[in-house]
Amino acid sequence: MARARNLPALVVHGGAGNAGPGAERPERRRGMMAAIRLGAGILRAKGTALEAVVATVVALEDHPLFNAGYGSLLNSEGNVEMDASVMFAEPVFSASKRSGKRSDRTHSHDADYSVSAGAVAVVSRVRNPIMLARAVMEHSPHILMAGHGAENFARKVGIRLVRPEEMITERARERWRVRKEQTGMLEAEAAARAAMGHGTVGAAAVDVHGAIAAATSTGGVPGKLFGRVGDSALIGAGTFAHALGAASATGQGEAIILTALCREAVLALADSTPKVVAREAIAEMIDATGAEAGIILVDGRGRIGYAHNAASMQVARYDPAGGIQHLWLDPIATARRP
Ligand code: ASP
């Protein structure tokens, strides 16, 4: 007998890391609620999971209190360098009905689903890196494009380029100044490890057609070296979608890459619920790296899970049973297993 579905469903994160100034919380909550309402509205109107996760992430990229798009943290040189990625798993029958074709690099990952993905790394001149990641997925033969080449591609597909300074908020500049004073910026790497930021954004959704998507966007970790690429640009690490479900990660990118966090978690949905998988994925990440990270997950039945081991993580969720909810999520126990 087919098990009950609770579709559509959407889960969104606003980053795991330090708690951030309390005074900013109401506005971060408001920004997150506006973003999830947008995504949930698309899903309720029978839009696709891809449209929902991209629209949700765009809204958060445009909000200056999130570390993605406008408002991104600055790298060791004081510049914005952003990463983003998106992945879409679509039932094959609806893929062929809607577009009549499948792209060359769309691989059949599962008997009934086709998957596609797009990503960008170290971009400084686009307002919404997630839209460029989607364009790479839909209009190029590639999956990951970086730096000037990615920006050149943006121009070709009609995405407006901005001056890099236009992406820098006064708040981000001030935080960079403070950090520079504290560390002397002599050891940017150590600084990046010592203090996590927060505010990376991501979303995972399943729509009424059964299609599944995830998207992630970030300005990276504080104090990161010029040219550093994090997990948010890497399919399988910071973002993954599959017939089984979808995931987006946040936290110390190097640990997320080492553990292929999102792909491992989504594949584990074959045997467990998103709630259990999220906790286990973070516990395994702690065992392997001792780092701080968070994950959100949705499965093909619309069940949602999330977990993290940082000081704080902002999450919002939507499904027909529970409606829209916002949470400041407590960390799971961080003791490393013997
Ligand atoms: N995972 C992001 C990165 O390493 C940062 C974050 O999620 O806060 O670039």
CATH number at 106 reads 3.60.20.30
Domain of residue 96 covers 9-328
Q: How far is it, in rounded angstroms, from Cα 304 to Cα 11?
A: 7
The pLDDT assigned to 105 comes to 46
Confidence of residue 206 (pLDDT cuts 50, 70, 90): very high
**pLDDT, greater one: 337 or 172:** 172
101 three-state secondary structure: coil
Ligand 1 site-directed mutation target among 61, 85, 232, 296, most atoms within 8 Å of CB: 232
Range 225-236 average pLDDT: 97
Query: Which residues make Cβ contacts (< 8 Å) with residue 284, sequence separation at least 6?
Result: 259, 264
Q: Rounded to the nearest whole angstrom, what is the distance from the C-alpha of residue 83 to the centroid of ligand 1?
A: 9
Indicate the number of domains in the chain: 1
Q: Is 301 inside a domain boundary?
A: yes
Expressed in angstroms and rounded, the spacing between residue 13 Cα and the centre of ligand 1 is 12
User: Are the C-beta atoms of residues 294 and 250 closer than 8 Å to each other?
Assistant: yes
Q: What is the pLDDT of residues 231-272, one digit of tens each?
A: 999 999 999 999 999 999 999 999 999 999 999 999 999 999
Mean pLDDT, to the nearest integer, of 12-25?
Answer: 92
Q: How many Å lie between the centroid of ligand 1 and the Cα of residue 333?
A: 21
Least confident of 16-30, 114-128, 297-311: 16-30
Residue 14 lies in a domain: yes
On whether residue 33 sits in a domain, the answer given is yes
pLDDT of 184 strictly over 90: no
The proportion of the chain whose per-residue pLDDT surpasses 70, expressed as a percent, equals 88
Residue 338 lies in a domain: no
**pLDDT > 90: percent of the chain:** 79
Q: What is the average pLDDT across 36-64?
A: 98
- Choose from 74-78, 149-153, 170-174 the range with maximum mean pLDDT: 149-153
199 CA to middle of ligand 1, Å? 9
Rounded (to 5) percent helix, strand, coil in the chain: 35, 25, 35
Catalytic residue among 200, 216, 218, 250: 200
Residue 1's pLDDT is what? 41
Residue nearest to atom 9 of ligand 1 (CA): 220
Position 277 in a domain: yes
In a domain, 335, yes or no: no
Ligand 1 shell residues, CB under 6 Å = 15, 17, 197, 200, 218, 220-221, 230-232, 250-251, 253, 256
- The token pair that represents 234 in the structure block: 């890497």
For the chain, the average pLDDT equals 90
Query: Is 48 annotated as catalytic?
Result: no
Give residue 230 CA to ligand 1 midpoint distance, Å. 6
212: in domain: yes
Per residue in 101-145, pLDDT (tens digit) is 444 444 444 458 999 999 999 999 999 999 999 999 999 999 999
CA–chain centroid gap for 83, Å, is 10
Amino acid 336: pLDDT: 53
In the prediction, which pLDDT does 185 show? 52
Considering the entire predicted model, what is its pTM?
0.92
Q: Write down the pLDDT at residue 335.
A: 57
Residue 67 alpha carbon, nearest atom of ligand 1:
8
CA-nearest residue for atom 8, ligand 1, is 251
Residue 3 belongs to a domain: no
Q: In the predicted model, is pLDDT for residue 294 greater than 50?
A: yes
Mutational test site, ligand 1, from 235, 250, 259, max ligand atoms within 8 Å of CB: 250
- How many CA atoms, within 13 angstroms, populate the side-chain half-sphere of residue 8? 28
* pLDDT recorded at residue 179: 82
